[in-house]
Each structure stands twice: as C-alpha cells, then as structure tokens.
Homo-oligomer: A and B are copies of this chain.
C-alpha cells in the first residue's frame, strides 16, 4: 500500500485540512453562501441556485452534512438545510489561528 499518510501529521493540521477539503469546491461554498443569505433553505431551492444537476448538488449537500457544516431537517416532503453555526465558528477559529500563525513579515 502506497497511500494516504495524512494520519502521520499533527492532529490540528489534519482537522484544518479536512475542513479545507470541504471548502475546496466552489459549489459547496456557493451552497453555504446561499444558505447564509436567504431564509429559504429547502433542498430544491438550493438546487435551482447551483448550476449542476440535482444529483450532484445532493452529493455536495451530503458532504457538507457529513462534515457537520450544515444540518438537514425533514419537513414533510421537503428537506430544510441550515448552516450549523457551532461548527462554522469552530472552523472560523481554526483558520483564523492558522493564518495568524503562518503570517510572517520577513524571511531570511
């Protein structure tokens, strides 16, 4: 086996990398952005906003849900997806801390 050595790294680095991967696709950023600025968080409305097939948008939603960046609540036939503020805050802090640490004003 010649694959995946992510677990050989610092736990913090692994965690940030995981969130970064979620944010590494514009569709997922677009979904989060849309959820933040509207109150209509119905799956179908999200799909209409994203220039991808229903299937693909659904998959991106599942990834965001798995990472706990969003929640999904069944409401009759429809499903309401919302931003998970708690995880989002954690994420904001992690990235904030990272960028603070790796900002360097001068080099050798």
Contacts and interface: CB of A to CB of B under 8 A. Distances in A.
B99 A85 contact: no
A25 B17 contact: yes
A108 B79 CA distance: 12
B51 A29 contact: no
Given A5-B52, A16-B23, A85-B106, 13 more contacts: A5-B51, A8-B51, A17-B24, A21-B21, A23-B98, A35-B102, A41-B108, A80-B108, A85-B103, A85-B105, A88-B99, A88-B102, A91-B99
Interface of A: 5-6, 8-10, 13-14, 16-18, 20-30, 32-33, 35-37, 39, 41, 51-52, 80, 82-83, 85, 88-89, 91-92, 95-96, 98-99, 101-108
25 contacts: A5-B27, A5-B51, A5-B52, A6-B25, A9-B26, A9-B27, A13-B29, A16-B29, A17-B26, A20-B20, A20-B22, A21-B24, A23-B98, A35-B102, A36-B101, A36-B102, A36-B104, A39-B107, A41-B108, A82-B104, A82-B107, A82-B108, A83-B103, A83-B107, A88-B99
